[in-house]
Amino acid sequence: MKSVIFPAEDIRAIDRKTMFRVVMKPQPPDIVSEIKPYCTGINWLLAGYWKANGCWNSTGPLKAPYLPGETIYVKETWCSGSGIFHKYSGRPVVVYYKADNPPFPGMYDKFKWKSPIYMPEWASRFKLKILTVGAEQVQEITEEDCFREGVKNICANDPIAGATWSPLPNFIHFWDARYAKNPEYQWNKNPWMWKFGVTPPPQWRALVAENLRRENPIDRHEL
């Protein structure tokens, strides 16, 4: 199964996140004005067609990593817990996730966290179904998509403040923090990226929302 890496901010917003973005690698040529991610009714899904100087071209290596209808699992920073492993599978009985708050202060200080790159499917607690695929430059994001990306609507119950408040600065801060080590992908460079509309299983969304809102959340995943 394919996977996607989410930083801690995305994990904490999973109960309201219905979209995520992935930078295109490599970036298309500067002359590209439009990218068509896939052709409906044709078996050329996500062929990577791009438009430049009014002409469509399919020679570039612009292929989205996920297809509509696919289910992927989410990778995040993690570590095995108790040191007790299942007799037959060899998997740890308990898995901890760094994005969660520790049950008590200092609990995580000596944990040896593992990179999300190495998270296997069995250790993941989230699966997302890809509903839509699109392609655009990051500065084309709308305020609606900022909310779908998980930015919290702090003015939801205050229409007066909501008339002037925008979620865009919060999204820009998150985006630049995520790509701090890759300045060529920061907001002011306006990189091309794939955007995916997703739906997580409702039971996972409800479980995580409850877990992350607790004062002393239990952040173990019993396997």
* In the chain, % of residues over pLDDT 70: 67
205 by Cβ neighbours in 10 Å (0-12 / 13-18 / 19+) ranks as middle
Q: Which domain holds residue 186?
A: 3-222
Total number of domains constituting the chain = 1
pLDDT at 71 over 70: yes
Mean pLDDT of 63-73: 89
Report residue 67 CA to chain centroid gap: 15
Contact 200, 4 (CB under 8 A): no
91, 117, 119, 150 from 95: Cα distances, Å = 9, 16, 11, 25
Q: In this predicted structure, what is the pLDDT of residue 12?
A: 87
Distance CA 18, CA 214 (A): 22
Residues linked to residue 3 through DSSP beta bridges, in sequence order: 73
Contact 79, 95 (CB under 8 A): yes
Least confident of 67-71, 86-90, 127-131, 156-160: 86-90
Q: Give the pLDDT band of residue 220 (cuts 50, 70, 90).
A: very low
CA 7, 12, 17: angle at the middle one, nearest 5? 90
Mean pLDDT of 113-123: 92
Q: In this predicted structure, what is the pLDDT of residue 219?
A: 39
Distance CA 152, CA 171 (A): 10
Distance CA 115, CA 119 (A): 7
* In the chain, % of residues over pLDDT 90: 39
End-to-end CA distance of the chain: 19
Q: Give the pLDDT band of residue 28 (cuts 50, 70, 90).
A: confident
pLDDT tens readout for residues 173-206: 999 999 989 999 999 999 999 999 998 656 555 5
pLDDT at 103 over 60: yes
- Dihedral of CA 157/149/138/42: which sign? negative
65, 111, 171, 208 from 107: Cα distances, Å = 37, 8, 30, 20
Give the global pTM. Answer: 0.78
Q: Which residues contact 87 (CB under 8 A, 6 or more apart)?
A: none
Q: Give the pLDDT band of residue 108 (cuts 50, 70, 90).
A: confident
Distance CA 200, CA 130 (A): 9
Contact 118, 184 (CB under 8 A): no
**How many CA atoms are closer than 13 Å to the CA of 140, on its beta-carbon side?**
12
Q: In this predicted structure, what is the pLDDT of residue 182?
A: 93
Q: In this predicted structure, what is the pLDDT of residue 209?
A: 54
pLDDT at 72 over 90: yes
